[in-house]
Amino acid sequence: MHPKLFQVALLQFGLLFSPLCDADNTGTGGTQLPYEFGQGLRYGDYYLSGYTSIELEDQFGMPAKLSLDDLSFFIGGRVGRWFNPFTEIEFAHHTLIRQDGNPGHGNIVVERLYNDALLTDHDTLRIGKILTPLGDWNTVFAPPLVPTITRPNTTAQGFDSNESGFNWIYDLQDGETPDLQIYWQPENEWFKRPLRETVRNFHNVTGAHINKPFGLIDKIGASFQHGQLIETGEMYTVYGLNAIKTIGNLMLESEAITSRFSGATLPGAPLRLHDHESGIFGLADYSFTPKWHGIVEWERYQDHFVSQPSRNTLLGIDFKPNSYIIWKFEYVRQLGMPTSFAPILTGVRCSFSTLF
């Protein structure tokens, strides 16, 4: 990494975020304020919150850069049985400093926009644009909530990650009974994301996810999804498994998917080299103290558009001074062929993320 870029990055991190680590929720006279940092702002039945993430990235062979990776705002309400809206709007992947001087402008993305109708105490009908319940990572991938900066390919865009349509949720919320979600996207994704955000878009998607909890954290789940890949015209079917297990200070997490693609590809579309696409990753998160965590991750992903799989190894350290702030430092080693949709490259990354 260029020394001057690294010095500027450290200065930016210090100036922007050091005061946040010491912030509290009291006024000058010790009076409780209506807003608490990390918990959002509530006004009657409505609330406003969000998160932000600043990332320093040095992928070997690529210009190093400091970027505003994500600035997301959550606006929602719990009004009654039939009207419970939620919106997430984010400003993503905006380059602040780049080693070669080339700017990189961010994108404004409508990540979620839906309403929950509470049919019964345990049944919810969600209509709108949601994070698709396929696996576990896709529904919680906000930077302050996941252990790594680098998102595994297995959890990325090998499936429709933002479903727009209807979602039925059955959940007893007793920590023991499996919860079930069934969803249907009759057409295309609402508020289509720009090419920088995704190179795969999906049409007429149906799917389901069942999840069995074992206490507060441990769980095992299974997923299914079927639809059409718009860019190529192929039909696809995805099956997935996900699991989390804690053993003392050690948390083990894994997801695996396998997909089958069929049908003729559209003229000009990439050549399909395999009829199947598959991925699996395993992650170990060990808490040395409540604030310091060590991360080890391994992944193998076979893209159906490339001949050989990508194999990724990650070593990382997380520092979490409190429940809503996290610093991450990691090294990624990539072997084989990067995927066609979300390339992971060898390099180092560090980030600062916080809920607000």
What pLDDT, in 10s, does the model give residues 241-262?
A: 999 999 999 999 999 999 999 9
pLDDT confidence of residue 92: 92
Q: Which two tokens stand for residue 221?
A: 């789940």
Confidence band for 103, pLDDT divided at 50, 70 and 90: confident
Q: How far apart are CA 275 and CA 264, in angstroms?
A: 11
Q: How far apart are CA 207 and CA 239, in angstroms?
A: 10
From the CA atom positions of the chain, what is the Rg in Å? 21
pLDDT tens by residue, 23-77? 444 444 444 447 778 789 988 899 999 999 999 999 887 889 999 999 999 999 9
The answer on pLDDT for 190 being more than 70 is yes
Give me the CATH code for the 112-355 domain, please.
Answer: 2.40.160.10
pTM: 0.85
Confidence band for 21, pLDDT divided at 50, 70 and 90: very low
SS3 at position 140:
coil
Q: How far apart are CA 283 and CA 171, in angstroms?
A: 27
> Which of 314, 239, 222, 236 has the alpha carbon at shortest distance from 279?
239
CB-based contact 77:45 (threshold 8 Å): yes
